[in-house]
Chain A
Amino acid sequence: MTPFDYARPTDLAEALRMGAAAGAAYLGGGTNIVDLMRERLAQPSALVDVSTLPATIAETDGGGLMIGAAVRNTALAEHPVVRSRYPVLARAILAGASAQIRNMATVGGNVLQRTRCTYFYDAEGSSCNKRAPGQGCDAVGGFNRIHAVLGTSDACVATHPSDMCVALAALDAIVHIDGPLGQRTMPFGDLHRLPGDQPDRDTVLAPGDLIVAIELPPLRFGASSTYRKVRDRASYAFALISVAAAVEMDGDRIGDVRIAFGGVAPKPWRALTAEAALRGGPATAQAFRDAAAAEFADARVLRDNSFKPVLASRTLAAVLGTLTTGEAA
């Protein structure tokens, strides 16, 4: 690991000052960046520890939640309001990593974790445009069972690995940012970027920017939401496909619906096309499959992951069927 300075600021202003210095990186729970630094995939000259800044979960005036970025994943998943009003978020967090890692990982760090593409981590043996722009991508023609089928580019097919973020995408979360450019907010869907020809840039954040909070707006039908993750083993594995969804029925029609997919794209994938196809229509297995087909119409499958559009369709049908009728469709 390349030597670095460690600093623990006592308040946000001090953290932002330290984080604005060239070469500095923010440190949350460390579960990703420590590993990246060991592999020399990250080489910050200073770590600014923001994990001990105040971390509260507070109800907002409008009936939503304001979640401090330093809140640990376990604390968010076990919060009574999250469990009752946003079960999709509790279940997404609990589907990720292991209990030990969820106890360490912060909300801000989870959002900013990097891909688990094995070629990205294999610095000595593989080419990767996300790690070294212009080097090429060994995943495109390699073992790509876990890789993305939507939103990819010729330069990069890596997925965003977070489960929590899939729920945040479905919930229309708002990201609160502070940094050299000042305080601002951003829709969660605008935070992560698609790779294009710059796959090394995961987000639109500027140097020195710090995510200070994630806000959940109120969602009338948030209690009718869930998360389902399909993976190669039953626990402690990244998603092949995951679905975060919330549904509100209007008689026997779908009144409103929120859907996001994990494991399919370089960013948490909000399925606006599928939502539009379902809104106002019947809650039938055929409608669920048609909605998934519309969402994945432009999918670019690779050698080992052509199952993903099919598995996504089946997983969506199972989730929406369970939410609307109590049984998988």
Chain B
Amino acid sequence: MSLIVNGTEVAPPADPRVSLLDHLREGLHLPGTKKGCNQGACGACTVLVDGDRILSCLALAVQYDGRRITTIEGLADDDALHPLQTAFIEHDGFQCGYCTPGQICSAIGMAAEARRGVPSVLTGDLSADITLTREEIQERMSGNLCRCGAHNGIINAIRATVAAEVAA
């Protein structure tokens, strides 16, 4: 068995104590995924597993044997940035940049959830299609903190790309 990280099969760690976050950063030398709180409170370590956003700090790497993991390093198509990466630059969606990989992976996961109709705590009609208003995006992105205070730029970047895509 193996983990599939950004399309490449890699071995899981020998020690089951190793988190997916530490395995990515230290075992596989993919430092794009960031360690913030290491206790599930900040979202900096967000990655995609089979398309779903999760916190890699609370994930034991061995538990993800056989799963497809996508990190920030796996989003660009060669030199062509992912549309959300471009939007974060255009909308000043960061200052120090530490939370950015988690924010972008989280937003991609959020868009997939909205497309398949997952409601949020703000959703009025639980059976209706999802409209990603600014308030809905704020709620759905509340698991990703930005200490620089770039949240407005982050939400703008996501609205400019993801909201239009989900509405289409």
A positions within 8 Å CB-CB of B: 1, 3-6, 8, 27, 30-31, 34-35, 38, 47, 49, 51, 74, 77-78, 80, 83-84, 87, 90-91, 94-95, 97-101, 103-104, 229, 234-236
Chain A residues, CB < 8 A from B60: 6, 27, 30, 34, 47
- Given the known interface contacts A34-B19, A49-B63, the answer about A100 and B119 at a Cβ–Cβ threshold of 8 Å is no
**Interchain residue pairs A-B with the least CB separation, the first 9:** A98-B143, A235-B142, A6-B16, A83-B126, A94-B121, A236-B142, A78-B118, A103-B52, A1-B17
Minimal beta-carbon separation of B130 from chain A (angstroms): 11
Chain B residues, CB < 8 A from A90: 119, 126
- Given the known interface contacts A4-B16, A235-B142, the answer about A100 and B53 at a Cβ–Cβ threshold of 8 Å is yes
Which chain B residues numbered 121 to 144 have a C-beta less than 8 Å away from chain A? 121, 123, 126-127, 138-140, 142-144
Contact assessment for A47 and B52 in the assembled complex, using a CB-CB cutoff below 8 Å = no
Tell me, in angstroms, the Cα distance from A83 to B19 when the chains sit together: 34
Minimal beta-carbon separation of A39 from chain B (angstroms): 9
Tell me, in angstroms, the Cα distance from A34 to B59 when the chains sit together: 8
Nearest residue in B to A227 (C-beta to C-beta)?
B121
Given contacts A83-B127, A95-B121, A234-B142, 9 further A-B contacts (CB under 8 A): A6-B60, A34-B19, A35-B58, A38-B39, A99-B110, A99-B140, A100-B53, A100-B106, A103-B53
- Given the known interface contacts A83-B126, A99-B53, the answer about A91 and B143 at a Cβ–Cβ threshold of 8 Å is no
Q: Which of B46, B120, B138, B139 contacts A100 (CB 8 A)?
A: B46
- Asked if B36 CB lies within 8 Å of chain A CBs, one says no
Chain A residues, CB < 8 A from B63: 6, 8, 27, 30, 49, 51
Minimal beta-carbon separation of B83 from chain A (angstroms): 20
Contact assessment for B43 and A98 in the assembled complex, using a CB-CB cutoff below 8 Å = yes
Chain A residues, CB < 8 A from B127: 80, 83-84
Chain B residues, CB < 8 A from A3: 15, 17
